[in-house]
């Protein structure tokens, strides 16, 4: 399989600049996604945080409660490739609308379960419907960031979008034990709990269905612009041949006036003979392309109009194989999948793991809420710093090392049980949220950097898919280890297993060489633009120095 690092980028300026328009609507798009992501995440952990109440009301045993918690992961394994293909072919907006629809239907399904069918089957159906939303929402942050945000804002946007999921989980850990209590967990209490989620999902569904903005009129960065022909050319051809205003494409806005055409002539991606696949990925159309080819690309691909991947000729699976051909991504792919898969399984079962040490479900809820709040506070400035330095492997590796150390301190506190064990364990668990929250967005952006110009949706979904492949068996292995009822020594074994896997993930992520292909391309574009008049006089297709232009 060819290595992407052999692909050369030829950049010609033709008077272009390195200034791109960033539209204020990008913040509305980000806000709407955050609302959807947080609401769905809050629904995920409900049954796992009020285990005993769920057992009694829905007639469940521990295995079935764990299956409800694992339903999101199991569904992602089955439908993750479909979500990958939908994002690749139809764009962000279509994916989020699909997610919003299933989120609302799943919330309604929970009402039905409480009122007429309080059993495992109906609870699982509602959980599966909600799980479809997770498939589209969790890996979407880097896609949204790339489509809307400039190169100095992408990690920040990804962080805000990813943190919304964490905040939803925090609320899902805090609120259910306060409403559905051990002393009062009848039908009325479950109805109150699910009414909150259903009302929230109704508001969110309206926003996604009717208010979510179209893609930006022009690409926000050179990395996005190069992935397809100039947006104005696509719109002009589509309008001429098929009547643009009547298009049924839900990702395509009305054509802008000529004045809004991009000022940047898209650079071209070319390959050498060693990388035949890479040239098929997101080939740029020359300005002399025929109208028929432009019409075919615009109408058949039905992409978000950000001049993004309109004419790529590689299939989704070709692009995934191209990602896996890159050593840096392989280490990230396996390492982060192990880390998050095991983390998700243990965090979802934390109330069961720490119960033998005398830590209550309510305390675990506050631990989770405080952990995520701490992580969210620090993740935003951390991501802004990463945006400035444009270095990913070292910060990500440092966060994984911090997670390994804090997991170990948490496990040792529960092992030796010193005076004040609960406050010490509480503190370690809260501090653990900081590197966890910082690692997620950096992981997503690092994956995109390593796999550029492959579609941003593919690398993130691939990592999350493998993480779920790891998490699902772990959700059954960990309860088998700790026992039912949970035993103290067995619970500690599960925690130390998490420490070991975190250490292995650190080695896998930190060892391969960092090859930031998107950054290399954007630097090449800026170098050309800054040459000014000299570059403007170059003939189209003239290459910059190979050392600056290879990705």
Residue 10: in which H helix or E strand, if any?
strand 9-10
Q: Distance between CA 547 and CA 413 in Å, rounded?
A: 52
Please state the separation of Cα 347 from the chain's center in Å. 19
Tens digits of residue pLDDT in 333-356: 999 999 998 888 777 778 788 888
User: What was the pLDDT predicted at 411?
Assistant: 92
Most confident of 227-241, 304-318, 418-432: 418-432
Q: Identify which of 130, 156, 135 has the alpha carbon closest to the alpha carbon of residue 30.
A: 156
Average pLDDT over residues 201-211: 82
Longest CA–CA span in the chain (Å) reads 79
Question: With contact defined as beta carbons under 8 Å apart, do 444 and 143 qualify?
Answer: no
Average pLDDT over residues 187-206: 88
Q: Distance between CA 403 and CA 431 in Å, rounded?
A: 9
Q: Distance between CA 229 and CA 235 in Å, rounded?
A: 10
For residue 453, say if its preceding peptide bond is cis, omega within 30 degrees of 0. yes
Specify which residues 550 forms β-bridges with: 8
> 25-216+320-510 has which CATH code?
1.20.1250.20
Tens digits of residue pLDDT in 119-159: 999 999 999 999 999 888 888 888 889 888 998 899 999 99
Q: Any idea which of 22-36, 90-104, 436-450 has the lowest mean pLDDT?
A: 90-104
Handedness of CA 414, 418, 421, 424 (dihedral sign): negative
User: Which one has a higher pLDDT value, 1 or 63?
Assistant: 63
- Residue 9 has what DSSP assignment? E
Classify the phi-psi angles of 147: left when phi > 0, otherwise alpha if psi is within -120 to 50, otherwise beta.
Answer: alpha
State yes or no: pLDDT of 381 exceeds 80.
yes
Question: With contact defined as beta carbons under 8 Å apart, do 525 and 17 qualify?
Answer: no
User: What was the pLDDT predicted at 57?
Assistant: 92
User: What was the pLDDT predicted at 260?
Assistant: 38
State yes or no: pLDDT of 212 exceeds 60.
yes
Please state the separation of Cα 59 from the chain's center in Å. 35
State yes or no: pLDDT of 185 exceeds 60.
yes
Q: Please state whether beta strands 9-10 and 268-269 pair in parallel, antiparallel, or not at all (unpaired).
A: antiparallel
Question: With contact defined as beta carbons under 8 Å apart, do 77 and 134 qualify?
Answer: no
Tens digits of residue pLDDT in 520-532: 888 887 777 776 5
Question: With contact defined as beta carbons under 8 Å apart, do 118 and 57 qualify?
Answer: yes
**Banded pLDDT at 549 (limits 50, 70, 90):** very low
> Is 2 strand, coil or helix?
coil
User: What was the pLDDT predicted at 251?
Assistant: 43
Contacts of 5 (CB under 8 A, 6+ apart): 326, 515, 517, 550, 551
Q: Please give the structure tokens belonging to residue 100.
A: 């919003």
Average pLDDT over residues 169-193: 87
Boundaries of CATH 1.20.1250.20 in the chain?
A: 25-216+320-510
- Residue 481 has what DSSP assignment? H
User: What was the pLDDT predicted at 138?
Assistant: 84
Q: Any idea which of 376-385, 412-421, 452-461 has the lowest mean pLDDT?
A: 452-461
């Amino acid at each position: 399989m060819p290595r992407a690092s052999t692909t050369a980028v030829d950049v010609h300026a033709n008077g272009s600049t390195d200034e791109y328009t960033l539209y204020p609507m990008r913040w509305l798009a980000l806000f709407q996604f955050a609302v959807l992501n947080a609401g769905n995440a809050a629904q995920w952990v409900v049954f796992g945080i009020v285990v005993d109440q769920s057992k009694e009301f829905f007639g469940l045993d521990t295995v079935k409660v764990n299956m409800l918690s694992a339903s999101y992961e199991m569904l992602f394994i089955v439908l993750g490739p479909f979500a990958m293909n939908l994002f690749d072919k139809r764009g962000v907006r279509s994916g989020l609308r699909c997610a919003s629809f299933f989120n609302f239907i799943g919330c309604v399904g929970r009402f039905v379960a409480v009122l007429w069918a309080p059993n495992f089957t109906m609870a699982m159906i509602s959980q599966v419907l909600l799980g479809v939303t997770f498939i589209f929402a969790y890996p979407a942050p880097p896609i949204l960031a790339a489509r809307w945000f400039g190169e100095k804002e992408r990690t920040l946007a990804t962080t805000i979008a990813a943190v919304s999921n964490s905040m939803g989980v925090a609320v899902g850990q805090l609120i259910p034990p306060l409403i559905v209590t051990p002393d009062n967990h009848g039908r009325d209490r479950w109805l109150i709990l699910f009414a909150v989620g259903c009302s929230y999902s109704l508001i969110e569904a309206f926003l996604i269905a009717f208010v979510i903005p179209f893609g930006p009129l022009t690409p926000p960065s050179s990395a996005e612009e190069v992935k397809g022909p100039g947006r104005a050319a696509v719109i002009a051809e589509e309008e001429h041949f098929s009547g643009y205003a009547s298009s049924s494409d839900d990702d395509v806005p009305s054509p802008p006036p000529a004045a809004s055409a991009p000022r940047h002539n898209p650079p071209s991606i070319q390959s050498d003979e060693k990388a035949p696949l890479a040239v098929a990925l997101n080939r740029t159309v020359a300005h002399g392309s025929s109208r028929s080819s432009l019409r075919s690309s615009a109408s058949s691909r039905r992409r978000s109009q950000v001049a993004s991947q309109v004419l790529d000729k590689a299939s989704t699976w070709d692009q995934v194989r191209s990602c896996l051909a890159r050593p840096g991504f392989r280490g990230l792919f396996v390492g982060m999948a192990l880390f998050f898969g095991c983390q998700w399984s243990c965090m979802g079962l934390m109330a069961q793991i720490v119960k033998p040490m005398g830590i209550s479900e309510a305390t675990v809820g506050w631990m989770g809420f405080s952990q995520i709040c701490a992580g969210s506070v620090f993740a935003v400035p951390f991501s802004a710093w990463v945006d400035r330095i444009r270095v990913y492997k070292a910060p990500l590796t440092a966060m994984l090392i911090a997670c390994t150390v804090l997991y170990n301190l948490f496990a040792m506190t529960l092992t030796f049980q010193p005076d004040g064990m609960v406050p010490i364990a509480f503190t370690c668990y809260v501090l653990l949220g900081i590197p966890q929250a910082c690692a997620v967005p950096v992981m997503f952006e690092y994956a995109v950097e390593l796999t550029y110009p492959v579609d941003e949706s593919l690398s993130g979904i691939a990592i999350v898919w493998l993480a779920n492949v790891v998490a699902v068996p772990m959700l059954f292995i960990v309860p088998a280890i700790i026992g039912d009822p949970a035993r103290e020594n067995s619970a500690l074994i599960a925690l130390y297993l998490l420490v070991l896997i975190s250490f292995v993930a650190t080695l896998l992520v930190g060892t391969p060489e960092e090859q930031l292909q998107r950054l290399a391309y954007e630097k090449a574009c800026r170098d050309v633009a800054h040459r000014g008049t000299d570059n403007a006089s170059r003939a189209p297709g003239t290459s910059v120095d190979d050392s600056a232009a290879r990705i």
